[in-house]
Amino acid sequence: MRPNLFRRFKLVCIRQHYIPRFLLKGFASREKNDEKYTYVFTKDAKAYETNIINIGIERYFYNSQNNHKTDDAVTVYEDKHVPFVSDLRTLNETTKVDSQKSLAFIVHMFKRTKHTRESIAEFQKNAFNVIQNSFSSGANSQQRFAHFLKTNRDDIAELMKEELSKQYWHLSSIQLDAQIQIQLGKIIKDPSQAPQEFFTFFQEVFNRLKNDAPEISKLGQNSALLNEKVKDNYFRLENSFEWRVFFSDSPNYILGDVGPIGRSKSENDYKTLIPKGQNLEEIVLPISDKHLLVGGYPKNFPSEYNANSINKAIASLSKFFFVSTRNNEKIEELVSIIGSSADAFDDNDRTKMYHKIEREWFGK
C-alpha cells in the first residue's frame, strides 16, 4: 500500500487542477464507485466522457517540481469554498445568497484558470511590443525613450546592474551603481548621446520579456492566488450589488474553462472578466447543470435565465473546452463556437490600455 499511496500523492503534486473538481462535480453525467464522470467538448475532437479528475489539469500548472507553495494555498482556499458551493446546490428555488462568500468564490475562480493566465500573457506580450515600438521608431522616439528611462529609472538601473556586473566585475557594487546613474542621467538629459549599444540592450530586454510572458503571467497568477483576501472593489461593484442562485429543473447549464463571465452596463454581450476594467452589471457562473450563481443589481434580475443564451456565451468565451452532464444535439451545436470570443480584451479595450501605457511610460 505504501508505494501506491506515495505514487498517488506524487501524482497529485504534479497534476494540478485549474478547474476545481468540487465545481466539476456539479456537472457529473454519472457516478461509479464514488467517482464522477462528465462529457467533455472540444473544438478538435469528438465529445467524450471521462472522470472529472482528468479535466482542467496540467503538470505543475501552479508551481515547479520542487515548489508546491501556491498549489498548497489553493487547496486550503478550496476547502473554504467547498461547503458554501455544496450548500448552494441543495437549493431548489431562486434564493438570495451570501454576497461576501459569493464574491470570494468568484474571484478565486477567476484568479486560478488557465484562461486567465493565457489572456494576461497575451496582453503582456502585445504591451511589450507597444513599448518597444514607441522608442524604436517615430519622430519623437528619443524623447519618448528618455521619458521611459526617467519614469522607470530605479528598475532600469537594477536591470542594467544585473547585466553589467559580469562585464565590470572589477567595480564594487557602489561604484557600479554610481556609474549607471551617471550614464542614465546623461541620456535622460540628452537621449541623442545614448550609444547604439544602449538601444540594442533594451531591444534584447523586451524581446526576452515577450518570450517570457507566459512565465511572467504564471508568477503573477501565483502571487494573486497566495493572497485570497478580496477587496470590495475588485470588479468595480457598487454597494447594491447582490448575489442569487437561480434554480431550474432542466436547464442543463454547461461549465466552460473561462470560469465566471460578466456583462457591463454599456454592452449586452457577456465577456471575460477583467478586474476593475468594466462597470459590471452582472456576473454569472454555473455551479451545477441546474444552478446558476448570479451577481447583479436587484432591479435588473430577471425571473429566470435562458440556459441556451448562457451556454452560447460560455462556449464562445472558453478557449479550450466545456463540460456537460449530457451529450445531445443541442450541446453538440455549441462546439462550433468554442473560442470564437475568447479574447479577454477586444480591440477597444486594448487600444485604451495601450494608450494608458504610452501616456504613463512615454509621456505621449
Quick one: average pLDDT of 213-221? 62
Residue 344: closest CA among 103, 126, 132: 126
- Above 50 in pLDDT, residue 30? yes
How far is it, in rounded angstroms, from Cα 256 to Cα 286? 9
pLDDT of residue 64: 54
Percent of the chain with pLDDT strictly greater than 70: 76
Q: Residue 8 — pLDDT band, cuts 50, 70, 90?
A: very low
Longest CA–CA span in the chain (Å) reads 75
pLDDT above 50 for 50: yes
Q: Average pLDDT over the chain, rounded to whole?
A: 80
Query: What angle is formed at CA 153 by the lines to CA 149 and CA 155, rounded to 5 degrees?
Result: 115
pLDDT bin (cut points 50, 70, 90) of residue 90 is very high
The b-or-e profile of 152-179 (16+ CB within 10 A means b, else e) is eeeebbeebeeebeeeeeeeeeeebeee
Beta-bridge partners for 271: 262
pTM, to two decimals: 0.74
What are the tens digits of pLDDT across the range 142-168? 777 777 788 878 888 887 887 778 777
Better-scored residue on pLDDT, 250 or 318: 318
> What distance in Å separates the CA atoms of residue 72 and residue 209, rounded to the nearest whole number?
28
pLDDT band at 134 (very low <50, low <70, confident <90, very high): low
CA gap 280, 238 in Å, rounded: 9
What are the residue ranges spanned by the domains of the chain? 120-223+352-362
Question: Percentage of residues in the chain with pLDDT exceeding 90?
Answer: 34
The C-alpha cell of 91 is what?
A: 437549493
What is the spatial distance between Cα 175 and Cα 192, in angstroms, rounded to a whole number? 25
Give 289-333 pLDDT, tens digit per residue: 999 999 999 999 999 999 999 999 999 999 989 999 999 999 999
